[in-house]
A and B are shown apart, each in its own frame.
Chain A
Amino acid sequence: MDAVMSTTSGSASVWLFLLFGFLQLLKLSGNVEGDALNALKSNLVDPNNVLQSWDPTLVNPCTWFHVTCNSENSVTRVDLGNANLSGQLVSQLGVLSNLQYLELYSNNITGNIPAELGTLTNLVSLDLYLNSLRGTIPDTLSKLEKLRFLRLNNNSLTGNIPMALTKIQSLQVLDLSNNNLTGDIPVNGSFSLFTPISYNNNPFLKALPASPPSSVPSTPPSSPATLSLFLSPPSVC
């Protein structure tokens, strides 16, 4: 009788343990996106307390202010433009696989653009403009096949404009102005839509040729760049 009782209670406790563990796992997996955003919060300086509602103990981040989710409780928008934030971005942002709008413009964010943003294949708008970002534009961003708005203007970005970005067919608005970019300006692929306005005020970027139509090459000429602080519109197109 005792043996039967102990076996029954033993197997019951095993089942309870398993159930408990399973529930814990469920809670954890539902929070991967919340954890990622919490990592961002930890890496940002937030004097205005705009991230006050970001509570990582909640089952998902969908009730947090400035976070929007879809019907499956997966994050689609992060709207933190003009929020007086400083600090740096985090690679964990790449985990937000359904993210469509990443709006972090007009803050004082420093550091690099994480290459992991290239995994955000549903991203439609990447607005990091008006910050103090440094480093290069990761060429992993070329994997953002649905990207329509890429606005990185008014930062301190350096290095070349990745040629691979011209593969993004959906790109409609590109603003890389007011940075420290160097090298050539791509003109093929989707970049045939972009004019000197998109590259204004990059003193070391090789200017787009303003030559007559018949002699405009498909890639800009290899003549050495001059310190053109006045990368301004020519009097003809």
Chain B
Amino acid sequence: MAFLANVLLSKQHLDISIGSVLLLLLLSRCSFSFGVESDINCLKSIKASLEDTLGYLNSSWDFNNNTEGFICNFLGIECWHLHESKVLNIKLSDLGLKGQFPRGVENCTSLTGLDLSSNQLSGPLPHDIDKILSFVTSLDLSYNRFSGLIPPQLSNCSYMNVLKLDNNQLSGNIPAEVNQLTRLKSFSVANNPGLCGYPLKPCPSISQKKSVSLARVFKSNGVIMLAEAGFGIGFVFSFSFFVLR
């Protein structure tokens, strides 16, 4: 800010106007006040969308006290700095929470860590999860009841270091790209009954599926053929019996 002040104070009008344009641009990109508004809305939205069966959020997340950085004292909320409502991590593990994945997290634009483990959350993971969790380095959704596919767009979350999806009801193929995230140090997907693909056992492939169904066809055909053969033999036998009599 000091160097901009120098620009404004010295030289001619042209420099001054360039300086003020730069200043305006810089101020408009200053994430300070922007971060505060959206982060408060983020938490309001999370609270609204989740069923707080044990009342933890209800008692701790009080939006009436509006002093600077008040959300930083909320249960499970870690801020980047004291006295500024900019959320760094959300840790809401084991709080008896129900409902679907809280999409409102998208408004916590400076979020790096999300831990919703050991709750009773259900439903699918958002297909556009990379837009919702742009900068998340640690995502723990383990021990819930999430179902459906692992969104392939998770592979765009290139800052991901720790990804825990184990102990849910996820199914289908694990997108290969997710295994290739360059910063990923820990990836757990165990205990998702319908889930397959690396690092779990391979998903049943299409050719395998065909041979299985063909075998079934042959099996059923074989029974028919045997039945037909049996009928034929019986026919010939009884015919010859009657004729030769």
Contact = CB atoms under 8 A, between A and B. Distances in A.
Nearest to B177: A213
A129 B25 contact: no
Given A230-B29, A237-B130, A156 B161 contact: no
B156 A237 contact: yes
A237 B80 contact: no
Residue among B30, B131, B181, B182 with most chain A CB within 10 A: B182
B182 A233 contact: no
Contacts of B135: 195-197, 233, 237
Contacts of B109: 233
A129 B81 contact: yes
Nearest to B31: A200
Contacts of B25: 229
Contacts of B3: 156, 180
A14 interface: no
Contacts of B183: 187, 192
B61 to A, nearest CB: 22
B85 to A, nearest CB: 15
Contacts of A77: none
Nearest to A82: B83
B107 interface: no
A132 interface: yes
A201 B161 CA distance: 24
Interface residues of B, number: 36
Binding site secondary structure of chain B: loop
Given A229-B25, A236-B130, A175 B161 contact: no
B131 A175 contact: no
Given A213-B155, A229-B25, A237-B158, A193 B137 contact: yes
Interface string A175-199: 1011010000001000011111100
A201 B110 CA distance: 14
A127 to B, nearest CB: 8
Residue among A178, A187, A232, A237 with most chain B CB within 10 A: A237
B158 A151 contact: no
A57 interface: no
B205 interface: no
B134 interface: yes
Residue among A194, A234, A236 with most chain B CB within 10 A: A236
10 shortest A-B CB distances, which residue pairs? Answer: A195-B135, A237-B157, A237-B156, A236-B156, A195-B159, A216-B182, A192-B183, A237-B130, A197-B110, A213-B181
Given A212-B156, A233-B135, 20 more contacts: A151-B81, A156-B2, A192-B137, A192-B183, A192-B185, A195-B135, A201-B29, A201-B30, A201-B31, A210-B158, A213-B181, A214-B177, A216-B182, A229-B29, A232-B29, A234-B134, A236-B130, A236-B131, A236-B134, A236-B156
